[in-house]
Structure 1
Amino acid sequence: MECPNKEINLERCNCSYPSCFKKGMCCECLHYHLKNRQLPACCFPPDVEKTYDRSFETFAKLVLEGKI
């Protein structure tokens, strides 16, 4: 089933991974990343998102540094 909000979500999605099949489907994206102890791209600033390191640890480090 296709997400009814996919077009709206795509306008806000900052995922830079070219072959991501979850773009615009936030529920699928969130489930995938949480299962892998990560957060989705939208939780990170663009410079960090492009590294594809979306780990909880990286997020916590950015919070402690005041970057998020």
Structure 2
Amino acid sequence: MECRKEQNLKRCNCTYEPCPKKGMCCECLHYHLKMRQLPACCFPPEYEKTYDRSFELFAKLVKQGKI
């Protein structure tokens, strides 16, 4: 499958600037899942910029109705 990096970059909300995986969703997802995290696109902007991408924070936000 061909990566649509340019298209993906248009909707990527990751604020971590030196990230080499921006726009490469498959690599991003693989990287974060092996660390028990979710990628930036799973979080609202105010939580994404904290760089806490943990499953625990995601579950907490779902429970609070913020996601």
TM-score normalised by L of structure 2:
0.96
Unaligned runs of 5+ in 2: none
Letter in 1 for 2:31: Y
SS in 1 for 2:18: coil
User: Matched residues, percent identical?
Assistant: 77
TM-score normalised by L of structure 1:
0.95
- The CA deviation at 1:37 is 0.2
Letter in 1 for 2:14: C
Letter in 2 for 1:41: A
| Number of matched pairs | 66
Name segments (4+ residues, structure 1) moved above 6 Å: none
Tell me, in whole angstroms, the C-alpha distance in 1 between the residues paired with 2:3 and 2:18: 21
Alpha-carbon RMSD across the aligned residues, in angstroms, is 0.8
Unaligned runs of 5+ in 1: none
Residue 36 of structure 1 corresponds to: 35
1:22-62 per-position Cα deviation (integer Å, ceiling 9, x unaligned): 00000000000000000000000000000000000000000
